[in-house]
Amino acid sequence: MAKRQKLNPLQQKEILDEVTGMVLDALPQDWDYLELQHHQVGNHMSLAVGLRVAGGCGRRWDTANEVWYRFQDLRSGMYCEGQGTWFSLLYRLERPGRYSVSYEWEQEPAFSAVPPPGEIALELRRFPRDPEYVPDWFRVRSRA
């Protein structure tokens, strides 16, 4: 396995600040609230964007691929030896540019299609977990 760079909290914040800058530069002028969801196991991903504009209406909007790549960098850099890394990230951005982020390290991601067992195996090779940190859903899916 390739050596990965562990990100300290300041480096994690720098990535999130960079993402925020990229997103703010691209959002429509009438934006009010943005939510980005990134779910991943192995190479199996689900990405979702929710944009609300002034007046409370939703609008279709796609963010640059670079944002999703930076989330993958964050995911890799947040790996904890024996504990793995997060499966899901929820990024929220409110006017004028205040963001929050939450991570899910144990619960099964809300995929529209279940990841194939090979993706579970790939996840464990990339981000090894000691048995006590392997969620039950993960064990079940790896045998499917």
Condensed to tens digits (0 to 9), the pLDDT of residues 31-77 reads 999 999 999 999 999 999 999 998 889 999 999 999 999 999 999 99
What is the per-residue pLDDT for 60?
A: 92
What is the per-residue pLDDT for 1?
A: 46
The answer to whether the CB of 43 falls within 8 A of the CB of 119 is yes
Query: Domain ranges in the chain?
Result: 9-142
Fold of 9-142: 3.30.500
Separation of alpha carbons 99 and 23, rounded Å: 11
pLDDT confidence band for 3 (50 / 70 / 90): low
Q: Enter the pTM of the model.
A: 0.92
What is the per-residue pLDDT for 117?
A: 86
